[in-house]
Structure 1
Amino acid sequence: MSDTTPRLRVAATPAAPALTLRPWTAADAPGLLALSRDDALRHWTSLDVDDETSAARWLREQREGWEQGRRFAFAVEEAGPAGTAAAPAGHVVLRYAAPGAASAEVGYWTAARARGRGVAPRALGALTEWAFTTFARDGLTRLELIHQTDNSASCRVAEKSRYDFAAVLPAQPPAYPRQGHLHVRHLTENSG
């Protein structure tokens, strides 16, 4: 990563503090390890962090994704008192496996303390805007969001973020043991 790696800002609302989206760093290991102990997070995501070694590995993989231009992962921070940042409140990611491709996948998760407060849709909105602004000139016109069919909270985040429901995807064990929902947002829908 370089000094040109983006930091995305989301303005505060009357009900929620400002957000900053920034690349994960090695210094996030203790906070990531603490977040990974959340049973709900472990149930709904593939986050495989159990100790300091696995936290360091996960963070290294995020950095390598940036360096390879295929996975752009952001830690989501809420502004604390006097503008200070607390431990990450979530994660958003753009998986762009084939630069120049017309579509990419987005994903997200939030810390237990941040759920139900609009962090995920606001962070996903910032990521969506950044993805289309950054990669549309290379041909990106479609973003896909996939979640398990029984994850109603993720379905609400997708809808709030203007990702339209497109299809039910069949289970594909072992990686995807349950059916999924596919939501889609197109570049042409990004204005307004």
Structure 2
Amino acid sequence: MTVVLHSPPHEEGSSLSLRLWTEDDIPELIDAYRDPVMRQWTRFHVNDEQDARRWVDLQRKGWNDGDRLSFAVMESRAENGRPRLVANVVLKGFVVGGDSAEVGYWTARAARGQGIAGRALELLTIWTFERFATQGLECLRLLHQVDNYASCRVAQKTSYVLEEIIPARPPFPNDGHVHIRRAHQS
């Protein structure tokens, strides 16, 4: 199922926007993955241009297959007007007629502590329910390791409620939190 993006999610009156990933993002993507904190929490690591191209291709394939809808989160820079890559948000595992899917995100080092992850996740959440609730989507899950306190705060600030703690399983070494948000909450 190919998903067509007619109108990317955006925040009214804000410098924050979501768009599809492009090859132009490769240098900033490589730079984002140089951060050891981000590498600690992500499974796929980008070390060089080849890895970055593979990562961008994976995002395109997800859109073509309809099972991984990933957005580059961009913030316009006041000083030069050029947008910069600040984060990634993704909807994973949705199938038409299915009642749940998973969301995920990461934030580039320079953008942390500014509320960008929460704002981007909220944009993705609203867009997802508007786009897919009529196709059966009722619930979004957000998973993170229990020691990822920043992700827990983002989940709480965006009304994802802690539902359960799940045991560690590879590749994750620690137990995890499962937060959920239901369509009727949006």
Aligned twin of 1:10: 11
Secondary structure of the structure 2 residue equivalent to 1:177: coil
Which of 155, 165, 171 is equivalent to 1:168?
165
1:32-91 deviation digits (Å, cap 9, x = unpaired): 011110010001111311111010000000001001111100000112127834321000
Deviations, residues 119-176 of structure 1 (Å, cap 9, x unaligned) = 0000000000000000011100000000000011000000000000001110012x22
Give SS of 1:89's match: strand
SS of 2:113 mapped into structure 1: coil
Contact 1:164 1:183 in 2 (8 A): yes
**Change in 2 beyond 3 A, CA 1:135/1:2:** closer
Instruction: Provide the C-alpha distance between the structure 1 equivalents of 2:3 and 2:184, rounded to a whole number of angstroms.
Output: 31
Cα contact 2:94–2:100 (8 A) shared by 1: no
| Residues in 2 aligned to 1:78 and 1:108: alpha-carbon distance in whole angstroms | 15
Structure 1 unaligned spans of 5+: none
Write the distance in 2 (CA, Å) between the matches of 1:2 and 1:170.
33
Cα separation, 2, equivalents of 1:42 and 1:122:
22
Q: Are the equivalent residues in 1 in contact too, given 2:16–2:76 (CA < 8 A)?
A: yes
Partners of 2:161 and 2:179 in 1: CA distance: 5
Change (3 A) 1:82 1:37: closer
The equivalent of 1:148 in structure 2 is 145
Instruction: Identify the residue that residue 35 of structure 2 maps to in structure 1.
Output: 38
- For the aligned residue pairs, the C-alpha RMSD in angstroms reads 1.8
Cα contact 2:73–2:86 (8 A) shared by 1: yes
**What is the alpha-carbon distance in structure 2 between the residues aligned to residue 83 and residue 161 of structure 1?**
31
Question: Residue 183 of structure 1 aligns with which residue?
Answer: 179
8 Å CA contact retained: 1:5, 1:23: no
SS in 2 for 1:120: helix
TM-score by length of 2: 0.93
Q: Please state whether the residue corresponding to 1:9 is helix, strand or coil.
A: coil
Answer whether contact 1:69 1:99 (CA < 8 A) is retained.
Answer: no
Q: Percent identity?
A: 43
Candidates 96, 107, 125, aligned match of 2:122: 125
Relative to structure 1, is the Cα distance of residues 50 and 186 closer, same or farther in structure 2, using a 3 angstrom cutoff? same
Aligned pairs, number: 185
- Specify whether residues 4 and 38 from structure 1 end up closer, same or farther in structure 2 by C-alpha distance, changes over 3 A only: same
Code of the aligned partner of 1:11? E
1:136 aligned to 2:133? yes
Offset at residue 177 of structure 1 (A) = 2.0
Q: 2:86 aligns with which of 73, 83, 89?
A: 89
Deviation of 1:97 (Å): 4.2
Give me the whole-angstrom Cα distance separating, in 1, the residues matched to 2:73 and 2:152. Answer: 20
